[in-house]
Amino acid sequence: MTEKGTHSYFSDSRNENVQIYVNGEIYPRQLATISVFDSGFLLGDGVWEGIRLLNNQMVFLDAHLNRLYRGAEYLAIDIGKSKEELSNLIQETLDANSMKNGVHIRLIVSRGLKKTPYQHPRANIGNSSIVIIPEYKIANEEVNENGIRLVTVTIRRGTPDSQDPRVNSLSKQNCISACIEADRAGADEGIMLDLHGNVSTCNSTNFFIVRNTEVWTSTGQYCLPGVTRQAVIDICLENDIPMIMKDFRIMDVHSADEAFVTGTFANIIPVKQINNKKYILKKSNLSFYLRELYLQKINKLAPIIQ
Amino acid sequence: MTEKGTHSYFSDSRNENVQIYVNGEIYPRQLATISVFDSGFLLGDGVWEGIRLLNNQMVFLDAHLNRLYRGAEYLAIDIGKSKEELSNLIQETLDANSMKNGVHIRLIVSRGLKKTPYQHPRANIGNSSIVIIPEYKIANEEVNENGIRLVTVTIRRGTPDSQDPRVNSLSKQNCISACIEADRAGADEGIMLDLHGNVSTCNSTNFFIVRNTEVWTSTGQYCLPGVTRQAVIDICLENDIPMIMKDFRIMDVHSADEAFVTGTFANIIPVKQINNKKYILKKSNLSFYLRELYLQKINKLAPIIQ
Amino acid sequence: MTEKGTHSYFSDSRNENVQIYVNGEIYPRQLATISVFDSGFLLGDGVWEGIRLLNNQMVFLDAHLNRLYRGAEYLAIDIGKSKEELSNLIQETLDANSMKNGVHIRLIVSRGLKKTPYQHPRANIGNSSIVIIPEYKIANEEVNENGIRLVTVTIRRGTPDSQDPRVNSLSKQNCISACIEADRAGADEGIMLDLHGNVSTCNSTNFFIVRNTEVWTSTGQYCLPGVTRQAVIDICLENDIPMIMKDFRIMDVHSADEAFVTGTFANIIPVKQINNKKYILKKSNLSFYLRELYLQKINKLAPIIQ
Amino acid sequence: MTEKGTHSYFSDSRNENVQIYVNGEIYPRQLATISVFDSGFLLGDGVWEGIRLLNNQMVFLDAHLNRLYRGAEYLAIDIGKSKEELSNLIQETLDANSMKNGVHIRLIVSRGLKKTPYQHPRANIGNSSIVIIPEYKIANEEVNENGIRLVTVTIRRGTPDSQDPRVNSLSKQNCISACIEADRAGADEGIMLDLHGNVSTCNSTNFFIVRNTEVWTSTGQYCLPGVTRQAVIDICLENDIPMIMKDFRIMDVHSADEAFVTGTFANIIPVKQINNKKYILKKSNLSFYLRELYLQKINKLAPIIQ
Amino acid sequence: MTEKGTHSYFSDSRNENVQIYVNGEIYPRQLATISVFDSGFLLGDGVWEGIRLLNNQMVFLDAHLNRLYRGAEYLAIDIGKSKEELSNLIQETLDANSMKNGVHIRLIVSRGLKKTPYQHPRANIGNSSIVIIPEYKIANEEVNENGIRLVTVTIRRGTPDSQDPRVNSLSKQNCISACIEADRAGADEGIMLDLHGNVSTCNSTNFFIVRNTEVWTSTGQYCLPGVTRQAVIDICLENDIPMIMKDFRIMDVHSADEAFVTGTFANIIPVKQINNKKYILKKSNLSFYLRELYLQKINKLAPIIQ
Amino acid sequence: MTEKGTHSYFSDSRNENVQIYVNGEIYPRQLATISVFDSGFLLGDGVWEGIRLLNNQMVFLDAHLNRLYRGAEYLAIDIGKSKEELSNLIQETLDANSMKNGVHIRLIVSRGLKKTPYQHPRANIGNSSIVIIPEYKIANEEVNENGIRLVTVTIRRGTPDSQDPRVNSLSKQNCISACIEADRAGADEGIMLDLHGNVSTCNSTNFFIVRNTEVWTSTGQYCLPGVTRQAVIDICLENDIPMIMKDFRIMDVHSADEAFVTGTFANIIPVKQINNKKYILKKSNLSFYLRELYLQKINKLAPIIQ
């Protein structure tokens, strides 16, 4: 098992020889490279998604592709392929690996090759770069049972007029800085505030609290519009669980009954501690019930293959 | 000649076969690649510099390396080499190309290889990645004569508590968005304001104005600490030219006598138009005099080899 | 036809001799003047409305007068007449022109005459000044068919604690600056952001987008409370069209399906381009349907005179 | 004597028949009018200056004209006359009144006539409008002896990216609102804070404090660049009086030794009370000394005619 | 009768000998003291509540205790007693005074004794300090009939990331400064804006307006979560009175039909004047009806003892 | 020895019976109490100072008293005694203890007794409360040798328009919250940022860095105007050590050569670690030299008694 925290998973030797799609070709992992003139490498100029393969289904694929294309449009990157074509490329990559289940796919689209390392898109030549990395990654469910530890970090979310914090771009410095700060404090993830001091998100997952059977999450103005986050919101609405998207603060977090984070990889993970505040993880928690509903939902979307 | 604006240069067929340093090896351009698991490509997680080679001297090399190491420290990236070792690697790369003059070097240091595409530095394995791209690039001096056109863009500089805008990182989305906006408005570069509405910088160069023989530039709190910018500041001090670092605004720019931008590649470029305001480019302009002093300075640092 | 964009209209020679109300008298256009000691001329100290005359009805007159009186109260201007008296004055002005249809009325109320050009209201003497300018103006419906072009401008909406941007005052410098910036960029109107970077309004019209059959507009905290804007909101509610007043951003605009602007003069105008993003104007667009519903609504309020 | 506070002056019956310049003609006061289609009246779209005539000299005329033209340029208003031509027009107006001394001149330049009341400068026809109002106004020196009373007001200065608060435009709503708030609190002027909470200026005069023989005023980023303000700054520098332009706050004001305001009309007026804090006005005060130096300075610029 | 405004009450000589609980003992008023080493006295380090005793019932006791414990948790103060234990202590204090009705209880919990006057909680020794002060205080109902006067003050609410303005702590400097400013302006309470310029609260009561039969109050993000405020919100919901929690501004207040404040002591008090705006207090006002509903509600919670 | 960090000192049994001044009387420690109706205990409504007694001299007494009186004036607290009278009271308290050296004095002035626990100063009766606590406290010099550890905390400094962070008031919740956060992270003090994200101060000491032989500290706009801070500034100026008061950020801190904090109790303490960054403490450090100069300065002010 490698990595602790929200991305804890069991290492799998098959990943050493996984087949990776890079700009039209499939390469074994060791040979999967990109030009040093690529916009992604030189400038963090691109967008990406993480997608789960479950029972031969790419879960919430449409939501992931919509977010990818919206981000590309915001950055004026022409992906150069339709959503269907891109889906097919992912499937081809999975097929090349004979992968059917328990797979986490990283899909990266950069602005492509540059003729010289200069930030201007006019210095780009040719099409966008597309890279598809599928890996065998089974999340460590112990984390979903035992919970993780968070701390509030001093690194804030960015401003919408400098770099919209809702875009899943390759320029991830903001989140990485928050991640490092949390790690130094011994926590698994950092809670990031927006510029007004409201709780927005964790650095690589979305954040929820439970207060008096109400589920609260941020308004979404400063966090990534997480696909699992949206699924939890939908589940609450479908099940008459009060779901409130609002500005709230660390004080509300400390006096909450429960807290949990969501992500494509780890679905719903309860929080056992935030700063000095400890939360009791017990079976009757709403977060466990939400996770159960979530698993039901995705099992329905991706039923077990007989 | 390729590219217009601040990075206009004469294309040079030798660049097609230039030798590039990538993590300990020298490769011809077409083979200079990096793993798709590199932190730079996946997450824009790294720092970079652009350095001029003039008469076999890397101009202001110390200043560039100091900025690189400060940025790496801010991002908690261990470069893994001393400044001297890194300088030697650049020199070796130049030697492999037998380059002596008229060269622009791109030096990139990322956090290195990841075992899986997850933002946490704990997912990194091995050392930082170091890439050195030298190219023959002679700036098009017509630009230095005829000037460029700027527009104020709506994209603002980032906030210091989300991503310090003074760090030269690989997460360049903010500057690229400004660049695209300026380009759409038909301008060469965009003037970016800080969050308070003060003029900070252009998207890939630093910005100065001249008012009543005073030279003004921003306080430096929201712009890259440009090496050429610093050289101009030093030149003013050395030559008793009033040099003022202060908060100023578009209104001050429109009523200025001159404006110019600075960058490692293009040294000092006069501005002929900002938004609707036209500036008269005449020989007696202070910006031309500053450029002359700048060229003298670097020629002294890097004298012509007999 | 004169003027392009949202205020494009057919020139009408009758306007050259239109009768105008100024402080109790009716004057022909050439003689309609105001003292240079008027608070409106010296200081932009007053409020105004633009009102449509359709089939002998002043459309949404109550809403316009309510907004005018609220603004006057905010500025501590005593209009000195009841709403009914003011309505009668407008009607008298229309009667003096024998106007019945196709008329746009500009109603201006300033703080009135000053004994000396000093900003303090104690320097005012006498009553408020009232000016009523009716003109024959038939909007150019081609604009409603073909759409207009917008750009995001760098000029932001003002702050509520300096000058509440919801007041329709005679101090219009903020909107005019935005208008000029948009014009220079070749656009018909500029999209103005509020101080937090959210989309608020256009400089002389209100702004809406359509996303997945939802209609979005700003919360109204930083824009003029447009009368047509309110009519569109009401129409959506009456017709079960999802209508959402929220903070949103340029990214949401670029990924919207449609965009349109509203104003008293031009009712509902579709947007064909915002920055580099083009919108498809087709008959099935929700904005065309909303316009149809709007025209029905005002035709009901002001039925054709047999 | 009319008006209290900073603009207190002795009424002079000659003003009833003063001759006023309006767009190329001289009119007696009662006939000095402007079209209701003027940009100044409809939209507060223009700039202005207040100038003192002393001993047949317009004091600091160059500074006033420079500020006027800078403001016009910011607003993209073409004044259509050179500074010399405009000076001559003022002189002609003074001559038409045979005025030589004790005169306050209001100079107004608007964007001019509009063909229809729409904010877009494209709706303008013809040239800018120029109005020159000279009045006999002798400031009431009792105010300079006895001081005025100030209160902090809740109305803040505007933001530079919505409407640069340093421009002396006809859109004065912000200052008027502050003036009204101060008046309601029984004060002569209101102290306005900038958006960060620092002391910026009074609503129609500039503000200074004296602390331990140092003279403090705001940085100037959020206040009008007053001509008398600049004169005081210059006088301090010329006389080795410590002069500090900095961010400071109400707390610093309450613990100051003296406070005073400056304006073209009333030159330097001491402050006797701010909020609940009373200041002692005694002959040895630095503000009285500064006023003496100021009067010497302008008497030198405009010597008494024998 | 002592004190004017929201806390006007009839003086009662019994208060001179009231029995007060201090850290486990009951003392007569004159002997009720606390060590000068107490965290409350040295540093304002604690929380408090004001509770009404009505017909032998502590009204809304649960709500008060919940707020107290949430505040203590935010400040990391361990109260050291359960809510039930604390309730019993209050009851014991009331019993020691034989109090049954018309009593206002001040409950104070500080971090307790320090071994030396240093801010660090590690310098604390022993438990929290608990003080319970009950007083006979009958509110002066004339105030509820005749209304109070408010002014907007320049003192703003604090920021959530420096000191959450929703915590009822012993560090009350912010509210006291606002109180003093309002008092100097001749008003009973000051209306405080949040940092964005929206109306938040009065300095010692919560603030509401009535507009077109809608009741508006702030979102609650910057004000104390008042217990009476919540009761009014609940009453509106229970009685189908439109109740809107939103950002609004002084302009909305000036154009409101009614305004009122709420507090534990004075329940619901109408406002007769805000700044220069006067409100008509008539029997049919919604605020009088709300007060009636409120009195019914608490009479039901604390029925008269036969 | 008790307490770690900046206030580490050797415990001294004499403190158990120290004599304390409370409102005109001297009491032994155990009897030194204040009414629970005191404004300091109920509301944190007052100001305070910490003063060193060295060789029978109260070091920098004038500076401390000036700060105290400025703060009291800001809060509209009438201390009711002249500075000289207050000095005498301190001296009397010292005399009552026969204290001559190695003493730390806590001087507290609150608004005094209230007739009922209501925030309004009109509810106060009588004079301000004055408390003087002298203790034997010898700072642990090991700390000055070995340095302390800091972390950046998420708690920000307050805003000047809500509670001026430069006032040393009894409402210390902001600093205490920062202190707790730092303590939880295992640090001795927290570095607090201002609302713009610049480094301002530590929670109970002032903060400096050394970069290339320059000494940097914040502008002072958001921190307490520390007496030792000012002494260090003066020492730099007197000794031609470059001293820069400016906005700087965590990035500048991480790349600094040295860091140190200042306080009345512990004079100058070097910092050995901030977040993950370690600083080398060596004899040649500027901070050790500054401490030496500081000790010389105060030994001169308070020479050893023979």
Q: For residue C296, how many other CB atoms are within 10 A of its CB?
A: 11
Q: Is F211 exposed, middle or buried (0-12, 13-18, 19+ CB in 10 A)?
A: middle
Residue A305's pLDDT is 76
Residue E306's pLDDT is 67
Q: Is F85 exposed, middle or buried (0-12, 13-18, 19+ CB in 10 A)?
A: exposed
How far off is chain D from B276, nearest CA to CA, in Å? 9
In terms of CA atoms, which chain A residue is nearest residue F196? A195
* pLDDT beyond 50 at B177: yes
Phi-psi region of B281 (alpha: psi -120 to 50; beta: other; left: phi over 0): beta
How far off is chain F from B67, nearest CA to CA, in Å? 10
CB contact under 8 A, D74 and B255: yes
User: How far, CA to CA in Å, does B192 sit from each of A42, A152, A284, C9?
Assistant: 22, 31, 52, 37
**Which one of E76, E159, E164 has the shortest CB-CB distance to A276?**
E76
Chain mean position to CA C247: 22
How far off is chain E from A167, nearest CA to CA, in Å? 25
Mean pLDDT calculated for residue range B207-224: 97
CB contact under 8 A, E198 and C73: no
> What are the tens digits of pLDDT across the range B50-101?
999 999 999 999 999 999 999 999 999 999 999 999 999 999 999 999 999 9
**Contact list, B249 vs chain D (CB under 8 Å):** 160, 164
User: How far, CA to CA in Å, does F169 sit from each of C11, E44, E161, F204?
Assistant: 68, 9, 19, 13
Enumerate residues 6+ apart whose C-beta is below 8 A from D149: D186, D187, D188, D271, D272, D273, D274
Residue type at F1?
Answer: M
> What are the tens digits of pLDDT across the range A53-98?
999 999 999 999 999 999 999 999 999 999 999 999 999 999 999 9
Q: How confident is the model at residue A1 (pLDDT cuts 50, 70, 90)?
A: very low
* pLDDT beyond 60 at D2: no
Is there contact between C and A if contact means ≥3 C-beta pairs under 8 Å?
yes
DSSP sequence for E4-20: -GGG-B---GGGGG-EE
DSSP sequence for C257-272: SEEEEEETTTEEEEEE
In terms of CA atoms, which chain E residue is nearest residue D196? E195
CB contact under 8 A, C255 and A74: yes
> What are the tens digits of pLDDT across the range F67-124?
999 999 999 999 999 999 999 999 999 999 999 999 999 999 999 999 999 999 999 9
* pLDDT beyond 50 at C1: no
Mean pLDDT calculated for residue range D290-304: 95
ipTM (interface predicted TM)? 0.96
Residue E305's pLDDT is 76
CB contact under 8 A, E131 and F36: yes
**Contact list, D9 vs chain C (CB under 8 Å):** 116
Residue F1's pLDDT is 44
Residue B214's pLDDT is 97
Note whether C187 and C150 are within 8 A (CB).
yes
Q: Is A125 exposed, middle or buried (0-12, 13-18, 19+ CB in 10 A)?
A: exposed
Chains with 3+ CB–CB pairs under 8 A to D are B, C, E, F
How far off is chain F from B105, nearest CA to CA, in Å? 25
For the record, the structure tokens of F265 come out as: 């109790």
Report which of F234, F211, F204 is spatially closest to residue F298, judged by C-alpha positions.
F234
**Which one of C73, C160, C219 has the shortest CB-CB distance to E255?**
C73
CB contact under 8 A, B197 and D159: yes
How far off is chain C from D206, nearest CA to CA, in Å? 15
> What are the tens digits of pLDDT across the range C253-267?
999 999 999 999 889
* pLDDT beyond 70 at B306: no
Q: How far apart are the C-alpha atoms of F270 and F147, rounded to whole Å?
A: 5
Average model confidence (pLDDT) across chain C? 95
CB contact under 8 A, E255 and C160: no
For the record, the structure tokens of B126 come out as: 């091995």
Residue B1's pLDDT is 45
Q: How many CA atoms lie within 13 A of C180 on its CB side?
A: 18
Residue D1's pLDDT is 44
E209 phi and psi, to 5 degrees?
A: -125, 160
Residue F2's pLDDT is 54
Residue E1's pLDDT is 44
For the record, the structure tokens of A95 come out as: 């097929």
**Contact list, A164 vs chain C (CB under 8 Å):** 249-251
> What are the tens digits of pLDDT across the range E80-127?
999 999 999 999 999 999 999 999 999 999 999 999 999 999 999 999
Mean pLDDT calculated for residue range D234-262: 96
Residue E10's pLDDT is 78
How far off is chain A from F185, nearest CA to CA, in Å? 6
> What are the tens digits of pLDDT across the range C23-70?
999 999 999 999 999 999 999 999 999 999 999 999 999 999 999 999
**Contact list, C185 vs chain B (CB under 8 Å):** 185
Of A129-133, A278-282, C9-13, D130-134, the one with minimum mean pLDDT is C9-13
Is there contact between B and E if contact means ≥3 C-beta pairs under 8 Å?
no
Enumerate residues 6+ apart whose C-beta is below 8 A from B58: B51, B52, B64, B87, B90, B105
Contacts of A193-196 with CB under 8 Å at 24 or more apart are: A193/A152, A193/A156, A193/A157, A193/A250, A193/E161, A193/F154, A194/A156, A194/A157, A194/A165, A194/A218, A194/A221, A194/A222, A195/A156, A195/A157, A195/A159, A195/A222, A195/B159, A195/B162, A196/A247, A196/E160
pLDDT < 70 regions, chain F: 1-4, 306
SS3 call for C253: helix
**Which one of A159, A167, A219 has the shortest CB-CB distance to C251?**
A167
* pLDDT beyond 50 at B30: yes
Q: How far apart are the C-alpha atoms of B188 and B148, rounded to whole Å?
A: 6
Whole-model pTM: value is 0.94
Q: How far apart are the C-alpha atoms of C232 and E56, rounded to whole Å?
A: 55
Q: How far apart are the C-alpha atoms of C53 and C57, rounded to whole Å?
A: 5
How far off is chain F from E242, nearest CA to CA, in Å? 32
Q: For residue E97, how many other CB atoms are within 10 A of its CB?
A: 19
Residue E184's pLDDT is 92
User: How far, CA to CA in Å, does A95 sit from each of A19, C30, F139?
Assistant: 10, 81, 71
* pLDDT beyond 50 at E75: yes
> What are the tens digits of pLDDT across the range C212-256?
999 999 999 999 999 999 999 999 999 999 999 999 999 999 999
Q: How far apart are the C-alpha atoms of F216 and C150, rounded to whole Å?
A: 47
Residue type at A60?
Answer: F
Q: How far apart are the C-alpha atoms of E133 and F129, rounded to whole Å?
A: 20
Q: How far apart are the C-alpha atoms of D35 and E238, rounded to whole Å?
A: 58
Note whether F52 and F59 are within 8 A (CB).
yes
Q: How far apart are the C-alpha atoms of C139 and E301, rounded to whole Å?
A: 63
Mean pLDDT calculated for residue range B185-192: 96
* pLDDT beyond 80 at D233: yes
Crossing angle of helices D286-301 and D227-238, in 10° steps, is 100
**Contact list, B164 vs chain F (CB under 8 Å):** 249-251
CA angle E305, E1, E33 (to 5 degrees): 80
Helices (H) and strands (E) in chain D, counts: 8, 16
Strands B199-202 and B189-193: antiparallel
Mean pLDDT calculated for residue range E216-245: 97
Chains with 3+ CB–CB pairs under 8 A to C are A, B, D, E
Residue type at A268?
Answer: I
**Contact list, C221 vs chain E (CB under 8 Å):** 247
Q: How many CA atoms lie within 13 A of C181 on its CB side?
A: 27
**Contact list, E159 vs chain A (CB under 8 Å):** 197
Residue C139's pLDDT is 84
What is the radius of gyration, based on Cα positions, of chain D?
19
Beta bridge partners of A149: A273
Note whether C266 and C236 are within 8 A (CB).
no
Q: How confident is the model at residue E248 (pLDDT cuts 50, 70, 90)?
A: very high
CB contact under 8 A, F255 and B161: no
Enumerate residues 6+ apart whose C-beta is below 8 A from D238: none
Residue C306's pLDDT is 67
Report which of A228, A222, A99 is spatially closest to residue A161, judged by C-alpha positions.
A222
Mean pLDDT calculated for residue range D59-83: 97
For the record, the structure tokens of C176 come out as: 């005019």
**Which one of D7, D117, D133 has the shortest CB-CB distance to C120?**
D7
Alpha helices in D47-151 (DSSP H): 61-74, 83-96, 141-146
* pLDDT beyond 70 at E170: yes
Residue B305's pLDDT is 76
How far off is chain D from E234, nearest CA to CA, in Å? 32
Chain F contact residues (CB < 8 Å to B): 193, 196-198, 247, 249-251, 254-255, 276-277
Enumerate residues 6+ apart whose C-beta is below 8 A from D85: none
Note whether D12 and D3 are within 8 A (CB).
no
CB pairs under 8 A between B and D: 24
Phi-psi region of C83 (alpha: psi -120 to 50; beta: other; left: phi over 0): alpha
How far off is chain B from C151, nearest CA to CA, in Å? 10
> What are the tens digits of pLDDT across the range D114-169?
999 999 999 999 999 999 999 999 888 899 999 999 999 999 999 999 999 999 99
**Contact list, B167 vs chain F (CB under 8 Å):** 251
SS3 call for C10: strand
**Contact list, F75 vs chain E (CB under 8 Å):** 173, 176-177
Residue type at D10?
Answer: F
**Contact list, A276 vs chain E (CB under 8 Å):** 76
Q: How far apart are the C-alpha atoms of C82 and C13, rounded to whole Å?
A: 34
Q: For residue F218, how many other CB atoms are within 10 A of its CB?
A: 23
How far off is chain F from B4, nearest CA to CA, in Å? 34
User: How far, CA to CA in Å, does C122 sit from each of C39, D151, E152, E240?
Assistant: 12, 18, 22, 46
* pLDDT beyond 80 at B279: yes
Residue E196's pLDDT is 93
* pLDDT beyond 90 at B256: yes
**Contact list, C276 vs chain A (CB under 8 Å):** 76
Is there contact between F and D if contact means ≥3 C-beta pairs under 8 Å?
yes
Average model confidence (pLDDT) across chain A? 95
DSSP sequence for chain F: -B--GGG-EE--GGGGG-EEEETTEEEEGGG-EEETTBHHHHH--EEEEEEEEETTEETTHHHHHHHHHHHHHHTT----S-HHHHHHHHHHHHHHHT--SSEEEEEEEE--BBSSS-S-GGGB-S--EEEEEEEE-EE-HHHHHH-EEEEE-SPPPPPTTTS-TTS-BS--HHHHHHHHHHHHTT-SEEEEE-TTS-EEEESSSEEEEEETTEEEE--SSSS---HHHHHHHHHHHHTT--EEE----HHHHHT-SEEEEEETTTEEEEEEEETTEE----TT-HHHHHHHHHHHHHHHHSPPP-
CB contact under 8 A, C184 and B276: yes
Specify the residue for token string 């040979």.
A31
